[in-house]
């Protein structure tokens, strides 16, 4: 019975790792964090969740439209009471997995006296974007995300603004 159970567990783990495009290995931070969010949603779970999204709700309708091209969402986010809850090496372990030629950093942002750092990486396969990685760190917050599939970044960013942050003014059209 034990080998069967081990095989089943191994298969499930392999399926998760296969779907996720890089490993987080940050579970040990959960015990240090005051708040944490950990989500692993594969294609079937996303399709299942989509059935419960209400198109009458504007936010849910947008999310329902967005997740059509997404094959998986994997996010770990930690909030710490005090700065120094995580080490820069924790993030570096994730970053080193994002290697060329598949991965390329499309944007890196530092703000708030360089205390806030956000990197967005895109995964290209045969000329198509097949995934996005987001590494975001603040003194008391660490977030790592992997969105697998065809992602409309602009719509997602707009949704982020709509959810709580100010929406951007529309960019002037180029003449």
Partner 1 sequence: MDWLEQELADALARKEPAAGFDGRVRARLHRGPRWLAAAAAVLVVVGGGEAWRQYRGELAKEQVMTAMRIAGSKLNRVQVQLKGTEQ
CA dist 124 and 88 (Å) reads: 26
With respect to partner 1, which residue has the nearer C-beta, 23 or 36?
A: 36
CA dist 46 and 7 (Å) reads: 26
With respect to partner 1, which residue has the nearer C-beta, 74 or 90?
A: 74
With respect to partner 1, which residue has the nearer C-beta, 70 or 90?
A: 70
Q: How far is the CB of 63 from partner 1 (least distance, A)?
A: 5
With respect to partner 1, which residue has the nearer C-beta, 13 or 109?
A: 109
How many Cα atoms are found within 13 Å in the side-chain-facing hemisphere of 39? 14
Q: How far is the CB of 14 from partner 1 (least distance, A)?
A: 22
Q: Write the CA distances from 10 to 7, 24, 72, 97, 161, integer angstroms.
A: 5, 18, 20, 22, 40
With respect to partner 1, which residue has the nearer C-beta, 19 or 134?
A: 134
Binding site for partner 1 (CB under 8 A): 37, 39, 41, 45-46, 48-53, 59-60, 63, 66-67, 73, 75, 77, 107, 109, 111, 116, 118, 120, 134, 136, 143, 145, 147, 153-154, 156-166, 168-169, 171
Q: In the chain, where does DSSP find H-type helix? A: 2-19, 43-50, 58-66, 88-95, 153-163
Query: Which residues is 128 bridged to in the sheet?
Result: 125
Place of tokens 């080998």: 3
Q: How far is the CB of 37 from partner 1 (least distance, A)?
A: 6
Q: How far is the CB of 108 from partner 1 (least distance, A)?
A: 9
Q: How far is the CB of 111 from partner 1 (least distance, A)?
A: 6
Sheet strand arrangement including 128-138: 35-41, 70-79, 141-149, 128-138, 116-125, 103-111
């Amino acid at each position: 019975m034990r080998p069967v159970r081990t095989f089943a567990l191994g298969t499930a783990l392999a399926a998760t790792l296969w779907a996720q495009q890089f490993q987080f290995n940050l579970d040990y931070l959960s015990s240090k964090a005051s708040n944490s969010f950990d989500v692993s949603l594969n294609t079937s779970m996303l399709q299942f969740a989509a059935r419960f999204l209400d198109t009458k709700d504007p936010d849910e309708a947008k999310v329902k439209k967005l997740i059509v091209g997404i094959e998986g969402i994997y996010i770990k986010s930690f909030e710490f009471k005090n700065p120094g809850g995580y080490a820069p090496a924790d993030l570096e372990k994730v970053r080193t997995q994002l290697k060329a030629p598949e991965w390329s950093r499309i944007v890196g942002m530092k703000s708030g006296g360089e205390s806030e750092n956000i990197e967005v990486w895109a995964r290209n396969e045969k000329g198509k974007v097949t995934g996005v990685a987001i590494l975001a760190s603040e003194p008391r917050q660490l977030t790592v995300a992997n969105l697998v599939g065809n992602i409309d970044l602009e719509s997602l960013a707009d949704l982020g603004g709509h959810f709580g942050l100010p929406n951007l003014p529309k960019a002037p059209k180029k003449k």
